[in-house]
Chains A and B, each alone.
Chain A
Amino acid sequence: MSTHHALVKLQHVGLRYGAREVLKNINLEVHRDCITTLIGPNGAGKTSVVRIVLGLNKASTGNVWREAGLRIGYMPQKLQIDQTFPLTVQRFLQTTQCKDKQQMQQALDEVGAGHLLSQSIHNLSGGETQRILLARALLRDPNLLVLDEPVQGVDINGQIELYDLISRIRQQRKCGVLMISHDLHLVMSATDHVICMNQHVCCSGHPAHVTQDPSFTELFGVKGAEALAVYSHHHNHRHSAHGDVIPERNNCNHG
């Protein structure tokens, strides 16, 4: 974390649906120019935390503070658009109220999907869909990006590429990033701050620190924790969305 400029703070947040307690006493902060990742098993309430940050759900208890003038760019887990809905990428991006074609092209270029502007949304691959969603989030010129499992439905190389992309966007825009992830192997190296949760926050901190924490081992089991010990990937090139090999830059910096 380079600065301690908080964008969102959750203080003692709890959430219950009827008798079921989903979240209890969650404290977390999301900072500018910092990637914060939520990890935890299924049903741990990761999505509930994100929904509270987004304002989609109200916390039952506790406080939610958002910086004045916060602009959130949100990337949902999945995009399910009925086949009967004729929609090009351009028209999809237009529903953000952005009418400027050049701006849309720029956002697409930024995520390496510049060639997709006039494509039908139904012909995109998993990785392309994620990039389009990311471009849509960027069109709002966000100071906070909220990404719900941004690499879902993407193959392993694509996942690495997407996490690299998210790191680059954060570096260039100095925005805060809050994301949910399942696949800890890859995300650990692309994040600054990990929050490991199971209805409450079990442990949090720098990835290297969290993986040593006893409660992390408890949550994911010894096998899981060992497998998740910080994995740094080494590759000498990247792929763009259309498969071209792009040479790796030297200063690629993962948190």
Chain B
Amino acid sequence: MADFLLRALLGGLGVAAIAGPLGAFVVWRRMAYFGDTLAHSALLGVSLGFLLDINMNLAVVACCVILAISLVTLQRQRLVATDTLLGIMAHSALSLGLVAISLLEDVRVDLLAYLFGDLLAISSTDLYWVFGGGVLVLALLWYLWEPLLAITINEELAQVEGVPVTQVRLALMLLIAVVIAIAMKIVGILLISSLLIIPAAAARRLAASPEQMAVGAAVLGCISVGAGLALSWHLDTPAGPSVVVAALICFLLLYSLPLSRNR
């Protein structure tokens, strides 16, 4: 197998394995649009990374976290409905990022690679980020698993029972921001949330417990990466979108199976 293909496969599998369990929370807590908005702000992080000459991944994480915190703060003020607020921030962040990048004179940026991902151009350094970040995310998720489930069931109940709700929620946002920074190279800014949502939603069909759904989402994500890469290799299609198409096929297949509804 060609080196670049092996790197693509490893990177893709790593991202799918962390996006699955985290995606389950995005689905349960109805944060799909929230994840999308954070992802859109990643481009702003990229341009800031170039501008300030700091590590790209760190810039993206910082940008996502700042956006997440300002989102929560603005949401509390109730100036506009949450979906309007998310719409404003998602597209403004993306546009700001595009404008900022075009203003950078001495840098030539492959915009398409950031928007739709360039799985086949993954470097060894990228792989370190995927696996280093991935281990960190999974470890934190493991540690926070019960509190995260508790606040997903009912935040007030969790708080009365002694869960530090605000901190746990912040940690979840931070985890999503890290995954976005890691996954950006793989599927691109515009398609990241699909990797969070589609495998998790598909896994719901088979799962009878939150743990089964989280593991199922990771497995289905990995299958999608494998199938998407194969599709890309044989038909010469763009890798990121091919992975998403493979995930969609997984989802449709599972939902067309006649399974019992008692779950």
Contacts and interface: CB of A to CB of B under 8 A. Distances in A.
A120 B262 contact: yes
Counting contact residues on chain A (CB < 8 A from B), the size range is 20 to 34
A86 B208 contact: yes
A87 B210 contact: yes
A207 to B, nearest CB: 27
Contacts, number: 65
Question: Which of the listed residues B150, B160, B212 has the most CB atoms from chain A within 10 Å of its own CB?
Answer: B160
B73 interface: no
Contact of A56 (B28, B156, B212): B156
Interface residues of B, number: 26
Contacts of A140: 161
B84 interface: no
A28 interface: no
Nearest to A86: B207
Question: Which of the listed residues A82, A84, A120 has the most CB atoms from chain B within 10 Å of its own CB?
Answer: A84
Interface string B11-55: 000000000000000011110000000000000000000000000
A2 interface: no
B125 interface: no
A90 to B, nearest CB: 9
Interface in A63-109: 72, 74, 76, 79-82, 84-88, 91-92, 95-97
Interface of B: 27-30, 146, 149-150, 152-154, 156-157, 159-161, 200-201, 204, 207-210, 212-213, 262-263
29 contacts: A54-B160, A55-B159, A55-B160, A56-B156, A56-B159, A72-B160, A74-B156, A74-B157, A76-B156, A80-B154, A82-B29, A84-B200, A85-B152, A86-B208, A87-B153, A87-B209, A87-B210, A92-B153, A95-B146, A95-B149, A95-B150, A96-B150, A96-B161, A97-B146, A122-B263, A123-B262, A136-B157, A140-B161, A146-B160
